[in-house]
Amino acid sequence: MERRAFLKISGSALINGAIASMATVTGGVALALPPAPNPRRLALVNTHTGDAFNDAYWAAGDHVPDALRAIAHVMRDHRSGEDHAIDPRLLDLLHDLHASVGASAPYQIISGYRSPATNAALHAQTTGVASRSLHMDGRAIDIRISGIDLPRLRDAAIQMRRGGVGFYPDSDFIHVDTGRVRTW
């Protein structure tokens, strides 16, 4: 776990414990703080670079900046090496999708962020790449999960209704994004 996330969680636990002890010792009534929300974790492996992330990206009620930078690096454009900030809503979607299918294996990233130059080259070479892809904004990812059937992963993503879902069975991945709700 990143140091900052650990300190946030530890500090919250310390404060909650102190308040509970004070109420017990003084016989007084202490207002209980709500428990710190569970950290949100992701496990990602870039199929092109082998880079991986497996940690909390959100802890103690906030995003973990070091984790967001690490995720941006793992999801970078593997062709150009460029990093780009990844939409936190995409990370939340991935977190919830992983839980909804009961997966234990990490996401395999086929394509995360794409630079405008990479996207233009791919758009010119193939019919499956949008000229103004959300990949260029850090709002889209192409994924699969070992042990989870692709149609099941697609259906779970569609049920979430939190953005676009593309199905590419011949290439063995689905696309999810934080754009408008749509399927293809």
Q: Do 27 and 90 belong together in one domain? A: no
Q: Do 13 and 46 belong together in one domain? A: no
Q: Do 137 and 56 belong together in one domain? A: yes
Q: What is the pLDDT of residues 5-61, one digit of tens each?
A: 444 544 444 444 444 444 444 455 556 666 667 999 999 999 999 999 999 999 999
Q: Do 119 and 140 belong together in one domain? A: yes
Q: Do 59 and 17 belong together in one domain? A: no
How many domains does the chain divide into? 2
Q: Do 103 and 177 belong together in one domain? A: yes
Q: Do 59 and 13 belong together in one domain? A: no
No. of helices (H) and no. of strands (E), the chain:
5, 8
Look-up of token digits 């150009």 = 80
> Is the entire prediction scored with pTM above 0.75?
yes
CB 19 within 8 A of CB 33: yes
Q: Do 121 and 169 belong together in one domain? A: yes
Q: What is the CATH number of the domain that holds 87?
A: 3.30.1380.10
Q: Do 27 and 80 belong together in one domain? A: no
Q: Do 31 and 56 belong together in one domain? A: no
Q: Do 105 and 175 belong together in one domain? A: yes
Q: Do 69 and 28 belong together in one domain? A: no
Q: What is the mean pLDDT of the chain?
A: 87
Residue 15 confidence (pLDDT): 42
- The 173-177 sheet, strands edge to edge: 62-63, 52-59, 40-46, 107-111, 140-145, 173-177, 164-168, 182-183
Q: What is the pLDDT of residues 93-123, one digit of tens each?
A: 999 999 999 999 999 999 999 999 999 999 9
Residue 130 confidence (pLDDT): 87
Q: Where in the sequence is the domain holding 67, given as residue range(s)?
A: 38-183
